[in-house]
Each structure stands twice: as C-alpha cells, then as structure tokens.
Structure 1
C-alpha cells in the first residue's frame, strides 16, 4: 500500500512537473523592431506595449524591443516578412505596391486641409484608418498577409509641416527648393508649388538637412525631438503641406509568429495593439503642442504660408483626388478605389465626432479598444 502511495505521489509530482514544463514551453518571446530611438514617441509607446501584453497574457507573451537596431525603417517590411523580427513598425509608403489599398487611405490625406479645423484631425484619421482596415477592407488584410504579415493597427503623425533650414512662406521661396517627402500625393503637391521633391526614409532627414542635401522635410513637429531635428531645423512652416502621415502599420506581426500563439496569447497581443495604436497617435498629437516650446527654446521660427501659397495648396487638394483614384486603378489595380475613397471619407467623418470629447491618452486607449480591437476574434483573425 505504501509503495502504491509513493508511486502515486511520484506520478503526481511528475505530472505537475510536466504541466509546468508544458507551460514554460508555451511561453513566447516576440522581437519587436522599430526604426526610432528608445526615447522617442514610438519608443516610449513600445515599452508600454510590451508591459501591456505581458500583464494581459499573465507573462505568457513577452515582447523584446529593438529600437533602431534589429531592422531600419526601410528594412522592416521585408525583414518582418522573412522572420527576422516577430513584430515590426512597417512604413507602407516605402513599398506602396505591396499595400496599395492601405496606401490609398494615406493618399487621401489632403482632405483634412479642406475642412474647418476641429483640432483632433490626426487622431480621427488614425481611428478611421484602423477601423476601415479591420472591418471594411478584407483586401487590405489580404495584402498584408501577402507579405507574411498580420495587420495589427496603425497610428498617425500630427499635421505635417515643412521643417526647413531656410524660410518657406511664399511661392517664390518654394521655387526650386529641395523638399524631402514620403508620400506620392505630397510629391505632386510640392511639384505643383514649384519645389523639387526628394524621397527617402524619414530617419535619414537629420543628415540630409545638416549636409544641405535638402532644404526642408515634410514631417510633423514632434520630429524636432523624436529625430533630434531641432539641432538642424531653423524654420517651420506650420500650415504647409498639411495632411498627415498615416501609412504606418505600427506593430504588424509575422504571420507564422501569430499562428504559433494560442487564442489567449493572440487576445493579449490584440489588447496590446489597441494600446500602442492609441499611444503613438495621442503621443504625436500631444507632442505637437509641447514641441512648440522646444522650437522657441531652440530659436526655431514658426511661420505661416503666404495666402497665395495656401490657396494654391488647397486648389491642388481639391483637384488631385480624381487623378489619385485613377492612378491607383491603373498603376496598382485597385479597381475599387472610388468605393474605398467614399467609404473612408464617411469613416473619417464618423471618427471626427468620436474623438471630439477625448482629452487623454487613456481615453483614446479605451475608445480604440471598445470601438475596434475588442471586436476582433483572436480565434479566427489572421488564421
């Protein structure tokens, strides 16, 4: 009898040990690559993202952050596809043919210039892009999966400005000026205004401005601190070119890495996705306000565009849309471009109202979770 008890106890201990090992084996560490400094808006959000997933998963999923090390901004899309990272900050504008429907929403950005300002346009745009992609655009999700990625949300910059080493106010000052741009529509805009657009990744802006390769860069005001541009920028034209950057998928996950997770782990990652999308979006919105003081402290002049330049910019925004849609049809095969544009514009209008009462990051986190990510089924999404 005693022997049977000992054997039963040994079996039970072995079973417990086996369960513990099974639990340990199921724990996952995911590598997150993003081409921004650890102290940037993105880097700070990434730390909170890792903490949120670890807490939500009960330690079953750990995210290890690689700021500006594992993959550059330009390398992240292909590197994530090939499994060099599990999670990545993907800039769709660097390979627009891979994500044409997602990029179409980006290239509708100048519509924010044509409405009476309400103050939270960038926050509304982020919500509209994410909800439209998750719920109204299955072909968008298919495009991401075609690159071995699962879409996990996005974010926007605050309103884009011209960060320059020379003053840019008038059409005469713009003529021939070399301006770094990241989006096709802004390329066309600056060409229309008489400037010379140059295209390269945002993280190369510091060197390009400091060496005189370009005179200006199309970016938002928070990049004065995020990319240390306050050391080289002398002037900021605050209302030119307008629009915003929404072409990022801030924490896409490698398809194979996603499918290795169990349902509870995927649910935790979706929770984290809602947090980081809100954090980066709100971070840029809030940092645009605080960076006005940075500009003042660094003797960077904030200037407004001349009325003639602004009128021409708005005229371009009104007239460019039909050509943009036609280009997406002929160049990228987006035969539903008109439908996407109309539906997305309605989604943006809805989100302008949704974000109007939002006054904090935590409120935006809650809105992103309840309005969108909570409704994504971890058992079927991306599977």
Structure 2
C-alpha cells in the first residue's frame, strides 16, 4: 500500500484541480490562400473571420491564413484541397472549374446582374438554386468582384470590332464564349500568370476587375483601360470542409454560422470595390495610361454583341430561375 505524505497529497490535489480547471483546447482553422498576404482577401475575409470567430468563442476558435500557396500553389485546385481536408477553409473562383458551377457562373455573364446591384446579394438570393454546386463543403462567403473592364497592353478598346483577332485572357469557358462573341481569341489561364503573359505578348489584354491592377500588379504591364460596359463580374467563394464543420460542437458550428454568409461576403466585395476604385484612380493620374469611359452608344454595342451568348448559356444550364433570383425578380 502506498502512503502519501502531506506534500504529496497537496501536489496530487493541485494537479487534479489544474486538470478540472483547464480551459477547452483552442482550435485553429487552416485557411489556404494561393495569393500573397497583401492581397485583398487577407484583410477582408481571412483576418476578419479570425477576429470575429475569436471574439465569438473567447479565443477558442481562430483562423490562420497560409499565404502564397503554402498549402498548395495551384489556384485551380483550391476547392479540391478543402474537400480533401488539406485546408479547413479556402477561397477561389468558380470560373477555374466552370463545369462544376454551371448556374453560379451566370453571375459572371455580361448584363446578368445590374451594375448597381451588389453581387454578393445576388448570389445569396440565388443560393437555393446554386447550393448543389458546392458538394462536400459549407459555403462561408460568396461575392463578386467589381464589374469587369478591358485591361489592355497597347490596344484601345471602344467597340467590339477593336477586339478582332486580339488574344484575351479569360478565367473560364463562359468568359471564353463572351470574348469570342466580340471577335477576340480567348486564352484561359489563372490570374497569377497574366502579368508575364501581358509582359511577353502572349496575350493582348484581359477582361477582369480593376482590383487586379494592384493585387496582381497588372498596372506595371498594361496601359489602356476601357470602363462602363457591363462585362460581367468574377465570382468568388470561401468554403469550409464539410466533414470538418460537421465534426464540430454545436457551439462552434453556431459561431461559424454567425460569422458566415451575407456579412462576410459584403466585407469581401466592398474591399474588392475599394481596391478597384483606388487602382483606377491611380491609373488616371499616372500619366502613361489611356483610360476610356465608354459612351452609352458604345456600351450598347457591347451589349448587342454578347446578347446571344448570354441567353444561350442560361438556357443551356437551365438557369432561368437562378438568373431571376440574382436579379431579384
């Protein structure tokens, strides 16, 4: 039989008390970011989600960003990495795997969403129509970029005919059809390859949001920008591994639900717009760029050029209800 001295009894009691009083083990969610930490996604989504979750759980649940592709560099593979649990959270573009996101991609079509309607509102209003396109994950945020513009090197675009024969980078197959309808030759590639492609002449320009001028430093290699046509927007998602979410306690799930959805999506989209506005202002004052504000007649020319593509795509994916929901109809 063992006999405890008073000192040993005190030590044992202290140890037991310490175990009973120990706080719940904090958990850190891994957020995969294929872009550098200065990219707009970091402050508007990753850091915001970390701050909000930490506040909601007393620091028991936090988010850590793994930047610059630390958990896998390929932008195209981000969704798969989340499904497989390589990361707990990740962000990306449906356009990179557009066949998976047939109805979601309607939001990227020219004239699908009015220029004055927030894209995140349109996407969440259509969520019942598109939620089946996010298998194996829990959508945390859905938003769009600022409206697309023409970002060109050594070519000024005022009408569709100006694009004839030019090589234009697109993010996915839907954008490729739009580029072809305007007479351009689409070249599909991830956004992080566009800088070198513009610099070397592999492409002549890109149809995308102005935030890329600073986020991907395209202002260093482009010199002509055409604004005003409703050329669609890019769609973005942040998703969480479905099995990870399902395995969490009800309290943790509630905290995640509380910081997800419309508010986080709005934070992202407003940040994208702010980055874009600042980039366009910088381009206007730089002195070595051509910034074209298209007239109403010029805008109508682009709308006419792409109308058949837009209507055909919506019919092809059975997306009439999704489009109506996005428009609030």
TM-score interval w.r.t. the shorter chain?
0.7 to 0.9
The answer to whether the aligner puts 1:127 opposite 2:121 as a matched pair is yes
Q: Higher mean Cα deviation, 268-277 or 177-186?
A: 268-277
Which residue matches 1:266?
A: 253
Mapped contact 1:88–1:253 kept (Cα < 8 A):
yes
Mapped contact 1:187–1:197 kept (Cα < 8 A):
yes
Where do 1:10-21 residues align within 5 Å?
A: 14=16, 16-18=18-20, 20=22
Change (3 A) 1:28 1:183: same
Where do 1:1-383 residues align within 5 Å?
A: 14=16, 16-18=18-20, 20=22, 23-24=24-25, 27-45=26-44, 46-69=46-69, 70-71=71-72, 72-103=74-105, 105-112=106-113, 120-121=116-117, 124-133=118-127, 136-137=128-129, 140-145=130-135, 148-166=136-154, 167-240=156-229, 242-246=231-235, 248-249=236-237, 251-274=238-261, 275-298=263-286, 299-305=288-294, 310-329=299-318, 337-346=319-328
Change (3 A) 1:205 1:154: same
**TM-score, with structure 1 as normaliser:** 0.75
Which residue matches 1:378?
A: none
Mapped contact 1:189–1:313 kept (Cα < 8 A):
no
State the 1:235 CA deviation: 0.7
Which residue matches 1:372?
A: none
State the 1:338 CA deviation: 2.5
State the 1:90 CA deviation: 2.6
**TM-score, with structure 2 as normaliser:** 0.86
CA distance in 2, matches of 1:237, 1:35: 28
State the 1:10 CA deviation: 5.3
Deviation sequence 1:108-152 (CA, Å, 0-9, x none): 45234xx6x6xx43xx2211202421xx33xx334322xx21111
Aligned residues, how many? 318
Mapped contact 2:108–2:233 kept (Cα < 8 A):
no
Per the alignment, in what secondary structure is the counterpart of residue 253 of structure 1? strand
CA distance in 1, matches of 2:279, 2:131: 35
State the 1:253 CA deviation: 0.4
Unaligned runs of 5+ in 2: none
Change (3 A) 1:340 1:7: same
Unaligned runs of 5+ in 1: 330-336, 348-383
Per the alignment, in what secondary structure is the counterpart of residue 128 of structure 1? helix
Change (3 A) 1:322 1:235: closer
CA distance in 1, matches of 2:302, 2:13: 76
State the 1:255 CA deviation: 1.2
CA distance in 1, matches of 2:78, 2:18: 41
Choose between structure 1 and 2: higher helix proportion.
1
Mapped contact 1:33–1:85 kept (Cα < 8 A):
yes
Per the alignment, in what secondary structure is the counterpart of residue 87 of structure 2? coil
Change (3 A) 1:197 1:240: farther
